[in-house]
Amino acid sequence: MTRIVRAELYELTLPLVEPFVISGGAITERRSLIVVLHDEAGHVGYGECPPFELPFYSEETLTGARDLIQRLLLPNVGAREFAAPVPEAMAAVLHDGVRGNWFARAAIETAAWDLEAHARGTGLADLLGERLGVKPAPAVDCGVALGIPPDRNGDVLTRWVADAVERGYRRVKIKVAPGWDAAAVRAAPRGLAGAGTDLPLTVDANGSYEWPRDETALRALDDAGLLYIEQPLHPDELVGHARLAAALRTPVCLDETLRDARAARQVIALNGPKVWNIKVHRVGGLSEVCAIYRLAAEYGAKLWAGTMPESGIGSQAALAAAALPRFVYPSDLEPSSRWFGRNGDIIKLSMDPEGRMAVPRQSCGRLLDPARFRLLTSPVPLGRHEQAEH
């Protein structure tokens, strides 16, 4: 049995080097919540809650997640004992009486995985490999995610793509939206050709197209030689995605639609898309990742790891997932400097010149600098009930 003796909540704000624009909105800084769990043996686990402040990506927002973590989720896990395996036991408690709210649950659930990693002197990837009976890779391929340029300028996108190739990324992803698609897939390959490479190119619509209204535009993307088309339709359009996948030559990739293993089972029943983007926090944590992974193995789906992006704390979970064998496409994991500048992150992520990122074999508590953590975070006071529990 493992007893949680203290739980803490912090706010983390990391300014972005430049605004990041997708079809639904733009962000200029990365605000998130950090959960820290302590057990009676002195081990510590860190988890991140990274939804956006406005609901343009998902229904869940940072304010709502904070409220739920403070008032319900932390009280439910504080000052109680969990049987091994602790992360799975805690995931069951976090589901009790809670629908949705994936990001809020993932913050605590991934902290429990990190707590186990700290106690066992290993990393998250090794724990996942142990649970799934597979061997994680020592490093993962990194892909770049490029937003929509200011004024939707194709020359700017061409330059961005060429710069990304020069930095060593193994895949280029560009954001598209109705009215910014044909021009985007003309501009991006110019950057690849100018750099003398044939790196795979993908597009991500973040659910901005409607089915069947935008069928013509989506069929035009089918002629662009893309590796896959990510989340073209609204997250709830399971049938539409299945029909679109059957109609196009280019594989369709699911992101926001793939909320959890329940959604994955429906995709399989519909003989839907076989490329899945797994974002650990979007699906509620690493226990759910394991469930989806097993379904993907049965269905033959190909996986890759997406990001929100998170800080270096939350990215440890994404790195661990990306190291699993079925994660065959380059991830969205990028060096910390790309988003937050040099030495701006709380755990620094680095990419080698070949576009690969090493998978840590240590927990967050052994990777982060406590002094830097204190500098970049501010504690969130917990209510009377939570403080009494902890």
Exactly one of 135, 279, 302, 348 is catalytic; which is it?
279
CA 70 to chain centroid:
23
Q: Which of 135, 175, 274, 302 is catalytic?
A: 175
Q: Residue 352 contacts by C-beta under 8 Å, 6 or more apart in sequence?
A: 139, 168, 358
279 is catalytic: yes
Among residues 130, 137, 103, 105, the alpha carbon closest in space to that of 279 is found at 103
Q: Dig out the tokens for 7 from the structure.
A: 């739980």
**Hey, what are 155's tokens?**
């020359």
- DSSP sequence for 321-339: HHTSTTB-S-BS---HHHH
H or E segment to which residue 230 belongs = strand 229-230
Do residues 241 and 218 touch, judged by C-beta distance below 8 A? no
Asked whether 331 and 140 are in contact (CB, 8 A), the reply is yes
β-pairing, 139-141 vs 356-358, is antiparallel
Q: Determine the Cα–Cα distance for residues 371 and 387; give it in Å rounded to an integer.
A: 24
One-letter amino acid identity for 273? P
Please answer whether residues 136 and 326 qualify as being in contact, where contact means their C-beta atoms are separated by less than 8 angstroms: no
Q: Which two tokens stand for residue 170?
A: 């193994």
Rounded Cα gap, residues 221 and 217, in angstroms: 7
Phi, psi of 389 (to 5 degrees): -65, -35
Give the closest residue to 227 by CA, choosing from 143, 295, 322, 148: 143
Q: Is 175 a catalytic residue?
A: yes
**Rg of the chain in Å (alpha carbons):** 20
Type of residue at 200:
P
The number of residues in the chain equals: 390
CB neighbours (10 Å) of residue 61?
A: 17
- Tell me how far the alpha carbon of residue 13 is from its chain's centroid: 18
- Show which residues are catalytic: 175, 279
